[in-house]
Structure formats: structure tokens, C-alpha cells
């Protein structure tokens, strides 16, 4: 069938098919027929139960059963390995806000968020995971922190400039 819509007769219980779930193409396993029509299925990438109301929602058969279960197993191993690395003393990355606090403490003078981001990257404390405007994100986080009043970590000294609460 490939990428086209399927017919009800093509759907087999226990079969694995591509389906569009929350605007993502995922592999689902058909578990049973639903009494109200359609099928009960399991999204194999999240292991959550989903209901497929019509065969038209399925986009064709996925891979064989052995091949379909293999990537799920591999993904779980990767996650477990990542967790074990952090638990065995792997350095945990600082959050943007914590790194900004360290930069402000060492600077000893008020800075704007662009200066903080540059200093955080230069000191190897933090780097943007790919965002285009990390200074705007930091600014927003600092404003949320300032809303805490006396419990805030930051103090606004003038427009766009901040320092650490002393």
C-alpha cells in the first residue's frame, strides 16, 4: 500500500502501521477492534494507547514485527546509558539562569543579557542549544525571577541591566 490510505480489510490485529497521531507520522500496533468502530492501538514510540477511528488514518504497513520492536529497545538502552553517565559523576550542565548568576557574581558590576550570554559562552559555563535569541530568553527568565520580589536572585539596576542580589 505504501503511503496511501488503507482500507478496513487491509488492517490486521497485531499488525504495525504508519499513522498520523498529533500531526506526527508514527508506528502504531493494532491491538484490538473497538466496539464503537475502528481499532484500539498502541503508539510504539510512546507506548501510549490511541484509537484509530478509520482505516484512512493509517498510511500503510510499517516494518516487520521483529524490526519494529528493535529500535524501541535500542532507544531505551541509549536513555539508560545517558542516565548512568550522569549518575557516575558526569558533569551536569548549568542552566542559563544559574550560569548568568555565576557570571554576574564574578563580574561585580551590572550587565545586560547580551553581555551575560557572551561571558557565559567565553567562560564555558553555558552555550545555547541552538536558539537564535538566547539573550531574549534569559531576559524573560530574569523578569520572571524579579516577579518573586525579595526572594529574587537578580536586581534590576537600570533599564536592561541586572546584578546579583547582595
Q: Report helix, strand or coil for 43.
A: strand
What is the arithmetic mean of pLDDT over 63-90?
A: 48
What is the arithmetic mean of pLDDT over 98-120?
A: 94
Work out the pLDDT band at 12, boundaries 50, 70, 90.
Answer: confident
CA 44 to chain CA mean position, Å: 17
User: For cell 536592561, what's the residue?
Assistant: 160
Better pLDDT: 5 or 43: 43
Residue 126 has pLDDT above 50, yes or no: yes
What is the arithmetic mean of pLDDT over 100-117?
A: 94
Cα angle, residue 139 at apex, residues 134 and 143 outer, rounded to 5°: 150
Work out the pLDDT band at 45, boundaries 50, 70, 90.
Answer: confident
Work out the pLDDT band at 83, boundaries 50, 70, 90.
Answer: very low
> What's the whole-model pTM score?
0.47
The per-residue pLDDT of the chain, averaged, comes to 82
pLDDT confidence of residue 4: 59
d(CA 130, CA 120): 15
What is the arithmetic mean of pLDDT over 135-140?
A: 95
pLDDT confidence of residue 129: 87
Work out the pLDDT band at 46, boundaries 50, 70, 90.
Answer: confident
Cell numbers that stand for 14 in this block: 497485531
What is the arithmetic mean of pLDDT over 73-90?
A: 48
pLDDT confidence of residue 63: 67
d(CA 34, CA 32): 6
d(CA 117, CA 155): 17
pLDDT confidence of residue 68: 41
What is the arithmetic mean of pLDDT over 28-57?
A: 88
Rounded to 5 degrees, φ, ψ at 88 are: -100, 30
Q: Are 25 and 18 in contact (CB under 8 A)?
A: yes
DSSP 55: G
Rounded to 5 degrees, φ, ψ at 157 are: -90, -40
Amino acid at each position: 500500500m505504501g503511503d496511501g490510505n488503507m482500507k478496513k480489510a487491509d488492517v490486521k490485529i497485531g499488525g504495525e502501521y504508519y499513522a498520523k497521531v498529533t500531526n506526527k507520522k508514527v508506528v502504531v500496533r493494532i491491538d484490538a477492534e473497538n466496539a464503537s468502530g475502528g481499532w484500539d492501538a498502541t503508539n510504539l514510540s510512546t507506548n501510549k494507547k490511541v484509537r484509530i477511528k478509520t482505516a484512512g488514518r493509517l498510511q500503510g504497513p510499517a516494518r516487520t514485527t521483529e524490526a519494529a520492536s528493535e529500535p524501541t529497545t535500542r532507544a531505551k538502552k541509549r536513555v539508560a546509558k545517558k542516565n548512568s553517565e550522569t549518575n557516575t559523576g558526569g558533569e551536569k550542565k548549568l542552566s542559563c539562569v544559574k550560569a548568568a548568576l555565576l557570571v554576574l557574581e564574578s563580574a561585580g558590576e551590572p550587565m545586560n543579557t547580551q553581555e551575560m550570554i557572551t561571558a557565559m559562552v567565553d567562560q564555558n559555563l553555558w552555550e545555547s542549544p541552538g536558539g537564535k535569541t538566547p539573550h531574549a530568553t534569559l531576559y524573560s527568565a530574569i523578569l520572571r525571577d524579579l516577579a518573586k520580589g525579595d526572594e529574587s536572585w537578580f536586581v534590576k539596576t537600570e533599564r536592561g541591566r541586572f546584578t546579583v542580589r547582595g
